Homo-oligomer: A and B are copies of this chain.
Amino acid sequence: MKNIVVFLGPAGSGKTSLTAAFGRWLKAKMLIPSTYVNLDPGVEYLPYRPDVDVRDYVTVEKVMQDYKLGPNGALLKSAEIACKHLPEIREKVEKYPSPYVLVDTPGQMELFLYRDFGPRFVEEFREVGYIIGVVILDPTLVAKAHDVVSLKLQAMIVSLRLGIDAIPVVNKADAQTFNPRLLTDAAYLREQLAGTKGLSSEISERILELLDEYRLAIRIPLISSITGQGLEELYDLLHEIFCACGDLT
């Protein structure tokens, strides 16, 4: 059984560069080779060499031309076409001996999460290995305590929709200064929420308490694909779940 890491996150969160950086780190520091899988039919440039590439079957630009669709329609259509090729993609991945499979997902997270693509991927790959989702936000999206709650809820949605474990991370740690205590210090985060008036702060506080009680996502690694910061912490978190063959879902 392989260790399958699926990188998810909204457009612009840096899924692709994190896929590349984590693969390089695994190879350099742990001497673990990875199979790189690109599932984004719309990507133009990849900073890693994909071993298996959905663009061999479908690209958004070709779908726009062939079906005379606008960008919205073409994105949906290409996710649909990609879906049909999952069995072939799986076969190709199985031929690689590497213990880790790093999966880069469509630029728009919702094409994977809220269409058949994600659930069908998980269905297809469950027998190939144990699957963990890494849910990425960038620091501009976690400026306030409320945002950190949103990130944890987003990871929870990934976990519920796909039926896999999901780890929230914050990427681009290098690009921006912000308050890391919001990510690392659960008590501090709750304090900040308590200091914010309104019903949604109160609800957020209670949801956090509940997630903390299950020890879900207490640590949120702060990562940089450029400096390598946080990659070891991410590896440790993944490793913990792969070893336990996680019972979170």
CB distance from A207 to the nearest CB of B (A): 6
Interface centre among A146, A200, A249 (most CB of B within 10 A): A200
A71-B61, A146-B160 given; A207·B210 CB < 8 A: yes
Query: Considering the chains assembled together, what is the distance between the CA atoms of A108 and B108 in angstroms?
Result: 7
Per DSSP, are chain A's interface residues mostly helix, strand or loop, or mixed?
Answer: helix
Number of chain A residues whose Cβ lies closer than 8 Å to a Cβ of chain B: 58
* CB-defined A-B contacts under 8 Å, sample of 26: A10-B110, A10-B115, A11-B72, A11-B75, A11-B76, A40-B72, A42-B70, A42-B71, A44-B73, A60-B70, A71-B74, A71-B75, A72-B108, A75-B108, A109-B110, A154-B157, A157-B157, A159-B200, A160-B200, A160-B204, A163-B200, A199-B248, A200-B248, A200-B249, A206-B210, A210-B210
Given A153-B160, A202-B214; 12 other pairs, CB 8 A cutoff:
A11-B108, A11-B110, A13-B114, A42-B71, A44-B70, A60-B72, A71-B71, A108-B108, A110-B110, A146-B160, A156-B207, A203-B211
